Chains A and B, each alone.
Chain A
Amino acid sequence: MARALKDYHDVELAALAAAGGRREFGELVRRHGSAVRALLRRMGAQGAEADDVAQDAFLQAFEKCAEFRGEGTFAAWVKRIAARLYLKRKARDARYVAELGTEEIAPAIDTPGLVDLDEALKSLNATERLCVSLCHGAGLSHPEIAAAMNLPLGTVKSHVKRGLDKLRARLAPDAGQSGRASHVI
């Protein structure tokens, strides 16, 4: 009796997709589409733009499926593709350079302790949000982010640290200050 697609592991589906299996790849999209779209939104992409980039990322992933060896998770692999595509798209948009870093997002006024990650991310500025999402959402290293964003490594580290400090303040406000890193100016 043939196995249903939902019974296959991601690595098996990716191998079948690499051999041209569109149905198998469709199952991968069903499994991980939401995660990729959510990451792009967390990086700052708006709804339709996030979906466009996510679609392009999956189409590119299908073409490059043979390169996925199952060393990490399939979702992480597609997220990296999506993150890089989003950065490329933003780099093409000249206006974004001016917006980046100057865009201040009004802090959310939720009850402390009840906020979720998406809400907490709104308290970060655009660059911090992007750097934190690339680092902790897409799994890119600091040097990779610096290269992708054309920023100095130290600047990326500062953005990530500042962003994490803000997130910590919102997500764990009652936490002790013992291990808390100081803000990097």
Chain B
Amino acid sequence: MSSDEFDPMIERLFARTPLMADAALFAADVETKLQSSNRVRTVALTVAGLIGGLIAVREAVNLDLRLSDAGAPVAGRAIGQGLQAASLDVQGAIATGLGQFGLSDLSLGSMGGMQLFWLSAGAVIALAAAAVMKLSQEV
């Protein structure tokens, strides 16, 4: 048998593999590992998103945003006023929501408008992180 005949024969022999008796078990093991690695990734991404969101909120709160002060630059003042307006909008939306559930008298404690705004921003960031995580699993 020449090497021209033998090489294809070897290729065929290598390609021919009988189905192993525990093939289904092996496949199930791989699927289980895939699931567990997916869970680990989900938890890791969620934790990372939450930590990142919290850090972002904390840093933003610590910025000492006195942007609406008279001494602040014009653009800064505009941003500050925008933020205050947004926080009032958020407060209004929350009050409306609570009113729908018959909780219009619920006191939000001593929370200032800005605090409430940043709290809401934190929640939105956490939601966005969760959405990104979900999206990363889909893609």
Which of B6, B19, B38 has the most chain A CB atoms inside 10 A of its CB?
A: B6
B107 at the interface (CB under 8 A from A): no
Check if B37 is an interface residue, CB within 8 A of chain A.
yes
Chain A interface main SS type:
helix
Query: B138 on the interface (CB 8 Å rule)?
Result: yes
Residues of A within 8 A of B2 (CB): 178-180
Interface stretch, picked from B21-29, B51-59, B85-93, B97-105, is B21-29
Which residues of chain B have C-beta atoms less than 8 A from A54's C-beta? 26
Question: Judging by beta carbons under 8 Å apart, are B30 and A20 in contact?
Answer: no
Inter-subunit contact B138/A20 (CB<8 Å): yes
Q: Which of A13-53 contact B (CB under 8 A)?
A: 19-20, 22, 25-26, 29-30, 33-35, 37-39, 42, 51
Which of B4, B6, B11, B17 has the largest number of chain A CB atoms within 10 A? Answer: B17
| B5 contacts A37, C-beta separation under 8 Å | no
Contact B10 A51 (CB under 8 A): no
Q: How many Å from the CB of A44 to the closest CB on chain B?
A: 14
Q: Is residue B81 within 8 Å, beta carbon to beta carbon, of the partner chain? A: no
Select B3's contact among A38, A62, A180, beta carbons within 8 Å: A180
Instruction: Confirm or deny: B63 has a beta carbon within 8 angstroms of a beta carbon on chain A.
Output: no
Count the A residues whose beta carbon is within 8 Å of the partner chain — how many? 37
Stretch at the interface among A92-100, A101-109, A140-148, A164-172: A164-172
- What are 25 A-B residue pairs whose CB atoms fall within 8 Å in the complex? A20-B137, A20-B138, A22-B38, A26-B31, A26-B34, A29-B30, A33-B20, A33-B26, A34-B18, A34-B19, A35-B17, A54-B26, A55-B26, A58-B30, A116-B13, A117-B14, A132-B10, A133-B14, A136-B11, A136-B14, A164-B7, A176-B1, A179-B2, A179-B4, A180-B2
Residues of B within 8 A of A (CB): 1-7, 9-11, 13-20, 23-24, 26-27, 29-31, 33-35, 37-38, 137-139
